[in-house]
Amino acid sequence: MDFKKYFFIGIGGAGMSAIALVLKGMGNQVSGSDIKRSRYTAILENEGIKVYTSHDPSNLGDSEIVVYSAAIPYDNVEMAEARKRNLDIMGRSDILAQILNSKKGIAISGTHGKTTTTSMVSLLLRGSDLDPTIIIGGELNELGSNARCGKGDYVVAEACESDGSFLKYNPYISLITNIEEDHMDYYKDYGNLKKSFLKFIENTSKGGFVIIDGDEVDLEGNTGKRMVSYGFGAENDLCAKDIRYANFGSSYSLEIKGKKDGKIKVRLNVPGIHNVKNSLAALSVCYCLGMDLRKTAELMQFFTGVKRRFEKRGEKKGALIFDDYAHHPSEVKATLAAAAREKKNRVVTVFQPHRYSRLSNLLGKFGKCFIECDILVITDVYGAGEQPLLGISGKAIIDELSETGFENSMAYIPKLEDVVKYLELNIKKDDLVLLMGAGDITRVTEELLKAKGDDDKLLG
């Protein structure tokens, strides 16, 4: 790293703030700007990082390099000022590549499960006194943040495939949780997406490992890398057997291929079969690093989750209120399956579609993932900067479900403020209420819990 004074444009994003925290921990001067304050900007300011809440050329001060997020337009005034001064300008992924490639990088990729798996790996390595550097796309409960600068040999980071930038990394361990159709605005078709993941594997450093979900990821041939697989099938190197669910958690027996010294008990305090898979992925990392799996398996019970991943936010009228980031059909289906397994009364789901392009490409799959809902509310699309597409709105999901014969109650309520009113009138004691989506749907959670009744409970 050749610079000491960094300025981040869009510093309040999950990925940008994580990089900023690590650079600050490495002894650099870090500042940045964003258009509004958030949980992430509060974390940054608590670490002594100056955050401006407007874009202005003077914000750059004596910075030597400008780092920008993908959401920043070319004509941004701070970008223009950086060009005027002939400062170095780099994207977030370029800085992450420098950090990840400077040590033994553990890069966790896949269509979904990245944040939780990265968080689990981080917990296990920290609990084993390996002091890793951590860069996560969500806020790890145990960490109280989305990043930390460690002094150990490892960097644990999410490797997002959305724009192909994960191909800049040369990790010691490359992990793929799954490969499903997504980000077609960039890849155009599934074949290009899969080629990108194969290239990601090829970039694994010499002597490193590739870890895959052996039940789901088909690499079609020998990659020439040291491969480790995990899953439920006995052919995998790490396998989960005798899975049991209870009290928003689970347990299973971990079997290691070729090992004769008995099964290892694993307990999880996060719900769902998808989290069993995530934990297998995390334990596979420990397996590749030669760690004691019995000890790391014991640490897994201390994982309590990530913000907005089946996060319990409180109670309203005796109903449990949960917030979840799920926005891809497979994520939605997995989260709802976990909810249905734990429900006492009804599963009430509010889903906010994320991006017009994703909804357009995956509409048929969205029509098949809400089967576990007793009551389903669909809002309008959170565009995330995209322009609307003709005929693509939240109502398209309702229409798709109607055609497939979905028989449970459903409603299209475009505006979030109207969703709050609907829930206040319709939820009942012992309902499990899920607010789902990658946009600003969490506003509904906050508004719903703001006006507390006698039986309501608001968590932190």
Which residues are known catalytic residues? 114-115, 158
* Residues 179-186: contacts with CB under 8 Å, at least 24 apart: 179/110, 179/111, 179/216, 179/217, 180/111, 180/112, 180/328, 180/330, 181/111, 181/361, 181/362, 182/111, 182/328, 182/358, 182/362, 183/358, 184/357, 184/358, 184/361, 185/355, 185/357, 185/386, 186/162
DSSP for 346-398 reads -EEEEE--B-HHHHHHHHHHHTTS-TT-SEEEE---B-TTPPP-TT-SHHHHH
The answer to whether 457 and 314 have CB atoms below 8 angstroms apart is yes
Q: How buried is residue 188: exposed, middle or buried, by Cβ count under 10 Å (0-12/13-18/19+)?
A: exposed
Residue 412, beta-bridge partner list:
378
Using the Cα atoms of residue 205, residue 206, residue 207 and residue 211 in order, give the sign of their dihedral. positive
Distance CA 287, CA 239 (A): 12
Distance CA 400, CA 408 (A): 14
β-pairing, 145-148 vs 173-176, is: unpaired
Residue 304 burial (CB count, 10 A): 14
Distance CA 176, CA 219 (A): 11
The answer to whether 270 and 302 have CB atoms below 8 angstroms apart is no
Distance CA 31, CA 1 (A): 17
